[in-house]
Amino acid sequence: MAEEEAPANQNNEVDSRPILDKMPPIWSTSRQEVCESLDWFRSYHSGVYSSNNIVKGYLLGGFPSIRDIFAHDGRIIISHGGGGHESLHSKDGRLVPQAATDQLDKDKSVRALLNNHSQNRPVVLLVDDRFKLFPYNLTAKGCAYAVLGFFCITNVWAEYHPLPNASGGAVRYKFCFQWCQSQGDPWWLKSTTKASGSSGETMTSPPATVNVAGAENSFRKRNSGTLVKCEQCKIQTPQVYQQGWMCLSAKCEAFWKMTDGSCPPLQLDYAPSFLELAPPDGFPQSLPPICPATPQESGSDEITTSFAFTKGWHCTRCGRLSSRYVWAFWECANCHVRDTFMGKALFALTVFLSTKYRQQVEVVTRKNSGIIKSHSATYDVQGCRGEYVKYILPYSRGVIHLIRGNVRANREADAIFEQYQREAGTAEKLVFRRFPLRAVSRGPLLTNYFSQNSGEPYQYVGGTDNTVPFSDTAEAVNNALELIRTRAEAALNRRPDFNEILSAAYMEQQKMAFHSDSERGLGPVVASLSLGSAAHMHFRPHVKLEEGRENALSLVLRHGDVVVMEGAEVQECYEHTVIPFNFRIAATARWIGGDNASTFR
Ligand SMILES: O=C(O)CCC(=O)C(=O)O
């Protein structure tokens, strides 16, 4: 089955399958590595990844459903997928169980799979280490996911599956995938040395969508076995099972009934003629590349912070897919081969002009949020005047100060932005990396952005692994800290104490998700400097307040702005997220005391 409904294997069963004698040509240890590196599969939750109504990738995981098979050494794989499974859904921050429902031919994944079938478009199949039908133990090789290769869907049909839901069962679509032989033999077969992969040629592109109104007629493909016309609906469907023919058209009254009107037995065997391999001439003879191209190959204007540069890469030496987890280069997380591509430092003005921030509403407070905006006031730092505004939170929960930069006051910010880029590029003192944010069931999940911490360890991102003492801190970071102190002092009328500063770097489309700075021992003032592209910063009430999950306050942070969150309750009562419009660097300073404070600064 497609991975979506895979129950976690929590019984730590011993995997007695044989161990592969070589690494898969494309593999990874986490879903994030797959989704960030492989254009054919970018879905974190569903087992079916489609784009423009065409399935690109299909992930086989967990325990097979009844009658799912891996036949002809995996040249034929029958699987059911496409949603409608019993699952847990997130609603208002809570997980709510949802019962299994019928799959319909208009459901997003089923419709896209039907489209691939009718257009004969190849799908990349992947397996995870829990997929019981794959004959090898992937875990022993350190693989959680492996790419099998290109397959075409040679048959699609609907069945009725008994399920423990209110109606006792549900309609499920089955898909018969056949290996595209133009790739050579499957890589997991011991007798061959040929790797699965691309022919390097580009496939001529059929139209992206077709009318799937006639999806019920999807049985007309090759390898249909014996076709039988239903007396009731007049639709021809193949005899899939040896025990006899039954109508496989889900909308027919005779659906899933044998010709004598009885229900088929639970135990069914595939008819041998149905499982015969379809002749190779019916398959695409040239296939598109399966391995991701590096951004260098796709050309560049030296802007190395664009979305293409956030992608992971495929190590041609060991086959591992790795997320881009270091700012300054790509590195294979397995064999540590590196690929470096230096870009040029961007000027703050260039980044600023490349974003459409002017069209954004500057600040929005939700009507019933209880937040009061004070009149703006001016600050004066070393002869440079700027403006600041206070947002006073209800029930004395604290104050959010927005200290605006401006062209004159920003000279230092401009220089710090360029200095950050230079120092991050050399990766000597300033090594921006993406750190595991929290443990998830399928390998580590790295933060969406790059960071380095200085001073006290910051447990939320990387702890001591991500922390350098102030004595080793890059110039850009020291200068950012000084600028934050000076601006915050101007707005607060006192000089705040900071012993920790987290520098975060965002490439295009990267962001920091909703969180609160709930570090143990956190001091009451958290202040951050924005550099480069503008960003949205949204605040929403914490789920425990039961004030709804809508944003209470939305700010547009621009280059040179400093935001100060003042008061411990700001973090207890609100979560915040930062969504940059493009390449941006931020430095956030805090005081971390109590148990978390260490002696090194
Ligand atoms: O301004 C930023 O980019 C994010 C700051 C932030 O939310 C944090 O470091 O916790």
pLDDT tens readout for residues 347-404: 666 666 666 655 566 677 788 899 999 988 888 877 778 899 999 999 999 999 999 9
Answer whether residue 321 shows pLDDT above 70.
Answer: yes
User: What mean pLDDT comes out for the span 6-10?
Assistant: 40
Residues of the chain within CATH 2.60.120.590 domain(s) are: 363-437+446-593
Closest among 502, 497, 416, 422 to 466, alpha carbons compared: 502
Cβ of residue 528 lying under 6 Å from some atom of ligand 1: yes
Of the candidates 531, 514, 529, 519, which has an alpha carbon nearest to the alpha carbon of residue 574? 514
Cβ 399 under 6 angstroms from ligand 1 = no
| Burial class of residue 475 (count of CB atoms within 10 Å of its CB; 0-12, 13-18, 19+) | middle
Question: Mean pLDDT over residues 325-342, rounded?
Answer: 88
Please indicate whether residue 84 or residue 324 has the higher confidence score (pLDDT): 324
CB of 400 within 6 A of ligand 1: the answer is no
> What average pLDDT does the segment 66-93 reach?
80
Q: How many CB atoms lie within 10 A of CB 497?
A: 12
Q: Where are the beta strands (DSSP E) in 163-251?
A: 169-179, 227-229, 236-238
Beta bridge partners of 467: 453
What ipTM does this complex have?
Answer: 0.98
Q: What is the DSSP letter of 568?
A: H
- Copy the structure tokens of residue 399: 């104050």
Residue 526 Cα to ligand 1 middle (Å): 9
- Residue 430: is its pLDDT beyond 80? yes
CA 312 / ligand 1 centre spacing (Å): 24
- Distance from the alpha carbon of residue 35 to the mean position of ligand 1, in angstroms: 25
Interval 135-158 mean pLDDT: 95
Nearest to 122 by CA among 145, 148, 104, 157: 148
pLDDT at 330 over 80: yes
- Assigned CATH class of 27-186: mainly beta
Q: Higher model confidence: residue 356 or residue 329?
A: 329
Q: How far is the CA of 90 from the centre of ligand 1 (A)?
A: 25
Dihedrals phi, psi of 404, to nearest 5 degrees: -75, 140
Distance between CA atoms of residues 402 and 562, nearest Å? 6
Contacts of 280 (CB under 8 A, 6+ apart): 181, 182
What pLDDT digit, counting tens, does each position of 535-554 carry?
999 999 999 888 888 999 99
Residues 6+ apart with CB under 8 A from 502: 451, 452, 453, 454, 458, 461, 587, 588, 590
531 lines ligand 1 (CB under 6 A): no
Question: Distance from the CA of 588 to the center of ligand 1, in angstroms?
Answer: 6
Tell me if 585 CB under 6 Å of ligand 1: no
The yes-or-no verdict on residue 488 having pLDDT over 50 is yes
Question: Residues with Cβ < 8 Å from 476, sequence gap 6 or more?
Answer: 416, 419, 420, 422, 423, 430, 503
Q: Dihedrals φ, ψ of 426, to 5°?
A: -85, -20
pLDDT bracket for residue 202 (50, 70, 90): very low
Two structure tokens written together for 111: 């419709």
* Residue ranges, CATH 2.30.280.10, the chain: 27-186
Instruction: Name the residue at shortest CA distance from atom 4 of ligand 1.
Output: 578
Where is the binding site, in residues? 506, 515, 576
- Determine which residue's CA is closest to atom 6 belonging to ligand 1: 588
pLDDT of residue 212: 33
In angstroms, what CA-CA distances link 410 with 349, 422, 455? Answer: 11, 19, 25
Confirm or reject: Cβ of 502 under 6 Å from ligand 1. Answer: yes
Q: How many CB atoms lie within 10 A of CB 504?
A: 23
Ramachandran class of 256: left when φ > 0, alpha when ψ lies in -120 to 50, beta otherwise? left
Q: How many whole angstroms from 108 Cα to the centroid of ligand 1?
A: 36
The owner of tokens 């054919």 is: 40
Per-residue CA distances from 312 to 31, 71, 258, 308 (Å): 12, 33, 51, 9
Ligand 1 neighbourhood includes 452 CB (under 6 angstroms): no
CA–CA dist 330, 345 (Å, integer): 18
CB of residue 326 inside a 6 A radius of ligand 1: no
Residue 156 pLDDT class (50, 70, 90 cuts): very high
Q: Are 45 and 440 in contact (CB under 8 A)?
A: no
In this prediction, residues 114-127 reach a mean pLDDT of 96
Residue with more model confidence, 197 or 521: 521
List the binding residues for 2-oxoglutarate.
506, 515, 576
Inform me whether the pLDDT recorded for 209 exceeds 70: no
DSSP for 580-594? ESSSEEEEEEE-B-G
User: Rounded CA gap, 137 and 15, in Å?
Assistant: 6
CA distance 149 to 463: 39
Q: How far is the CA of 515 from the centre of ligand 1 (A)?
A: 9
Pocket flag, ligand 1, residue 517 (CB < 6 Å): yes
pLDDT digits (tens, 9 = 90+) for 262-301: 999 989 999 999 999 999 888 998 999 998 877 665 555 5
Rounded distance from Cα 586 to ligand 1 centre (Å): 7
558: Cβ below 6 Å to ligand 1? no
| pLDDT interval class at 96 (50, 70, 90) | low
pLDDT value of position 95: 65
Residues 6+ apart with CB under 8 A from 126: 34, 41, 57, 58, 59, 60, 145, 146, 147, 148
State CA 523 to chain mean position distance: 33
CA of 364 to the centre of ligand 1 (A): 19
Torsion sign, CA atoms 189, 193, 195, 196: negative
> pTM for this structure?
0.85
407-422: pLDDT as tens digits: 878 889 999 999 999 9
Strand partners, 247: 255
Tell me how far apart the alpha carbons of residues 566 and 527 are, in angstroms, rounded to a whole number: 8
Q: What's residue 214's pLDDT?
A: 37
* 363-437+446-593 fold: Jelly Rolls (2.60.120)
Share of the chain above pLDDT 90, in %: 61
CA trace torsion 465, 469, 475, 477 (10° rounding): 60
Mean pLDDT of the chain: 85
Mean pLDDT for 472-476 is 97
**CA atoms within 13 A of residue 175's CA, in its CB half-sphere:** 33
Helices 411-426, 475-492: axis angle to 10 degrees equals 150
Q: Are residues 538 and 366 in contact, defined by beta-carbon separation less than 8 angstroms? A: no
CA distances from 341 to 111, 151, 309 (A): 41, 34, 10
pLDDT category at 90 given cuts 50, 70, 90 is: low
Count of residues making up the chain? 601
The CB of 451 under 6 Å from ligand 1? The reply is no
Q: How many angstroms is it from 537 CA to the middle of ligand 1?
A: 9
Is the C-beta atom of 144 inside 6 A of ligand 1?
Answer: no
For ligand 1, the distance from its centroid to the CA atom of residue 336, given in whole angstroms, is: 30
- Residue 578, ligand 1, Cβ within 6 A: yes
Ligand 1 proximity of 510 Cβ (cutoff 6 Å): no
Q: What residues form DSSP beta bridges with 562?
A: 403, 529
Query: Which range among 206-210, 227-231, 325-329 shows the weakest confidence by mean pLDDT?
Result: 206-210
Cβ atoms of 221 and 154 closer than 8 Å: yes
Query: What's the 517 CA to ligand 1 centre distance in angstroms?
Result: 9
522 lines ligand 1 (CB under 6 A): no
Q: In this structure, what is the dihedral angle of CA atoms 53, 59, 64, 65, given to the nearest 10 degrees? A: -10
- To the nearest 5 percent, what fractions of the chain are helix, strand and coil? 20, 30, 50
Atom of ligand 1 nearest to the CA of 502: 9
Query: Closest Cα to atom 8, ligand 1: which residue?
Result: 588
CB count, 10 Å around CB of 552?
24
Q: Does residue 571's CB lie within 6 angstroms of at least one atom of ligand 1?
A: no
Contact call for residues 47 and 58 (beta carbons, < 8 A): yes
Whole-angstrom distance, CA of residue 258 vs CA of residue 247: 7
Mutate to test the pocket of ligand 1, among 447, 563, 588 (most ligand atoms within 8 A of CB): 588
Query: Best substitution site from 512, 533, 556 to test ligand 1's pocket, by max atoms within 8 Å of Cβ?
Result: 512
